[in-house]
A and B are shown apart, each in its own frame.
Chain A
Amino acid sequence: MNTYGVIARFDTPVALVHAAEKVRDAGFKDFDCHSPFPIHGMDDAMGLKRSKLGYVIGAMGLTGALFGFGLQTWIHSIEYPMNISGKPFFAYPAYAIITFELMVLFSAFGAVFGMMYFNSIPRFHHPVFYSDKFSRVTSDAFYVSIEISDPKYNEEEVRSFLDKIGGTEIEVLRDEN
């Protein structure tokens, strides 16, 4: 039987935010605060840095725009210049639409797949799923989890710490085997 971490339940979003601040101030690094919906101000409470996802999306959007404009230019100026109604081969104002659409398309892929990358999902196994009660976190429960990978992790200390800051239903995550 292996141990993976400790979870503790809190009653309200406010309690969870205050708990996050205390866990952060106690110097833990590998912890997370689980809630059924995003909580305003939680990033600061946990001391998280700004998400880098924006850079990924920006790069993807730029790639899409360049690809769209390049594709059209290449088709009508290089690959097969074709005189249609005497319009110029390099009719760049007419390329605005497809350039824009591909920019949006690529940014959307960047946003969704970038989000999955940063969140490491799909990931179907995670220690928190060893807890039966934890499943309520997607409905109405609020949890703090501290993982064993944290340098300051010590099962007894973490348990009493979580108890001290108001956590209830404290549980050690263990696999079944």
Chain B
Amino acid sequence: MLDNKIKSKAQIRAEKLLPGNQNFTTITDDIAGVPEAKKTPIQWWLLFGFALSLLAIFAGSVGFLIWEGTGIWGINNPVFWGWAIINFVWWVGIGHAGTLISAILHLFRQNWRNAINRFAETMTLFAVICALVFPGIHVGRIWVAYWFLPIPNQMGLWPNMRSPLIWDFFAVFTYFTVSLLFWYTGLIPDLATLRDRAKTNLKRKIYGFFALGWRGGNRQWQHYELAYLVLAGISTPLVLSVHSVVSSDFATSIIPGWHTTIFPPYFVAGAIYSGFGMVMTLSIIARKVYNLGHIITVEHLDKMAQIMLLTGCMVGYAYSMEFFVAWYSGNAYESFAFVNRALGPYWWGYWVMIFCNVVVPQFFWFERYRRHIPFLFITSILVNIGMWFERFVIVVITLHRDFMPGAWAMYNPTIFDVSIYIGTFGLFFTGFLLFLRFLPMVSIAEAKLVLPESNPHHGHQE
């Protein structure tokens, strides 16, 4: 028997992740209390109104694009891929943290993830929806969007299965579907909690419908846990494959600066980096608005900052290795492409990227900065600015000057490039705020697993 004064490892860990005197009841009350609240916080309405206005901008801009065509964008010859592709890659990248947190950290038994995984999974879903908008609209002719589906055209010719563009369709579509299934599976027990606590008949019916009649029996948990574990297991290679495939869109071309084998791992590291940045931004806002500082603790933010430090350093390594290989290859075009990134007409884009993605995360070596919430909030936004500029560097700076100086041109976005990008935030935040209002933002069942008393073996031996 352990001395009462000496705390077990599990207890110390639990106290950091769930500080204060918390038990199963208080956890349910605190988390389920948010969607059950009669009164919606005023901040929520303000944010929701703002998100809806952005959504209106989105609808208007996309409508005009479909009416008028891609001529309203700043794309030209040679920069055929402009903001649409940048935004697609950016949003897909953000979507990566969700599955990383829920799947990979689950396999590694990182219990601290239990407070943020629901959050991150939801963010993934809406980020991937925002990303999927761009392949749908980027040719301007929405009525031929079905061309990216694997179905033959009027002459019986199929899409080329050897092309990374169709791989991309399969990868992103699979990723979205699996993320949705994973998210919903995780929600089932919590929907049952909301069903059982519902005060009105309508709420009980709606939550009850989606809870599928869950009754928490171990005969259910047994299959449920296996399904959840397998979903985590198959999502892990999936999440690594998605951005690798996205990077193949670039890497299989012969443009200097794109034709590199470093792209897949470099894209994946960048995706995780930006995804954690977004989870950080959203969780700092949500814990403040809903007073959930005792469930999403500074400890969680600290751990996320550590992952951002790791992935930020990986991205920084990739930037320097690209430069080294460009020089070491002795290929004049390759060398020029990289010198042009850093010193060409778009030098500022490159250095914003370096500052945000390489310099900023270095502060996370110090615990002081990892636990300083305003600092984390600002850096988490800088991270995503930096990652947007990374895609700007890759897409625009590479395309605007390739082999022949006669084919060079400058690229300038138009107001519609900007408005569609800003509009996707409306799409993202409208969805996310509705989630915060109606569903538990932290997994109620999993948050309890952090408490030592949830494990019957606690107190015996660690």
Contacts and interface: CB of A to CB of B under 8 A. Distances in A.
Contact of A13 (B28, B220, B237, B454): B454
Contacts of A122: 212-213
A140 B25 CA distance: 5
Contacts of B184: 112
A97 B213 contact: no
> What is the predominant secondary structure among interface residues of chain B facing chain A?
helix
B43 interface: no
A51 to B, nearest CB: 5
Contacts of B454: 13, 37, 39
Interface string B424-448: 0000000000000000000011101
Contacts, number: 204
Given A48-B218, A112-B227, A104 B28 contact: no
Interface in A99-122: 100-102, 104-105, 107-109, 111-112, 114-116, 118-119, 121-122
Interface string B149-163: 010100011101110
A85 to B, nearest CB: 9
Interface string A64-77: 00000001100110
Contact of A97 (B171, B195, B224, B456): B171
Given A38-B224, A100-B241, A139 B174 contact: no
Chain B residues touching A, range: 35 or more
Contacts of B449: 37-38
A129 B192 CA distance: 12
A84 B177 CA distance: 31
A164 interface: no
A33 interface: yes
Chain A residues touching B, range: 35 or more
B218 A46 contact: yes
A111 B456 contact: no
Contact of B217 (A33, A80, A125): A33
Contacts of A76: 158, 161-162
B227 A111 contact: yes
Given A35-B216, A139-B193, A98 B25 contact: no
Given A40-B456, A137-B196, A138-B192, 20 more contacts: A13-B455, A32-B219, A33-B217, A34-B218, A36-B28, A54-B226, A61-B234, A75-B150, A80-B156, A80-B157, A82-B157, A94-B162, A108-B235, A111-B181, A112-B181, A112-B227, A119-B223, A124-B209, A135-B196, A137-B216
Interface of A: 12-14, 17, 20, 32-43, 46, 48, 51, 53-54, 57, 61, 71-72, 75-76, 79-80, 82, 84, 87, 91, 94-95, 97-98, 100-102, 104-105, 107-109, 111-112, 114-116, 118-119, 121-126, 128-129, 135-140, 145
Q: Which 9 A-B pairs have the closest CB atoms?
A: A115-B227, A135-B196, A32-B217, A140-B24, A122-B212, A138-B193, A94-B162, A38-B221, A139-B28
